[in-house]
Structure 1
């Protein structure tokens, strides 16, 4: 009986360790995905803002040239 108990305890410990490792890996993966998505969104926003600024500057320059 003691041997069986030891085996059960070892199996339970191994299962718990595996579960904890899996949860940790999943959490890390989720965090990485969120960070990558946030970085992509920030890059897209910056590019769009720069594009809009450039377009506005060009339009203003054209208008000024036409008026002058």
Structure 2
């Protein structure tokens, strides 16, 4: 019983690591794309649009970080309880 539990915990840790890595990669890609878009907008359009885009990006990144932190905390709680 303890052996299977340990296996499950290791599996949970692996899943969490994979999820975190995927989220980080996605965030990096999104940020790069947004930076490129912002540069294009700066070249083409006015500064007001850029400010709006930057605010939206910051909000999205904050939301993603909060979600990731919550997922990790929940998983840690589950691991501790088991």
**Is the TM value for this pair above 0.5?**
yes
Unaligned runs of 5+ in 2: 47-82
Greater relative CO, 1 or 2 (CA 8 Å, sep 6+): 2
1:36 maps to which residue? 14
CA RMSD of aligned residues (A): 1.4
Aligned length: 46
Map Cα deviations across residues 48-67 of structure 1 (whole Å, 9 max, x no partner): 01110110000000111224
Which is greater in Rg?
1
The SS at the match of 2:2 is helix
- Show structure 1 runs of 4+ deviating over 3 A: none
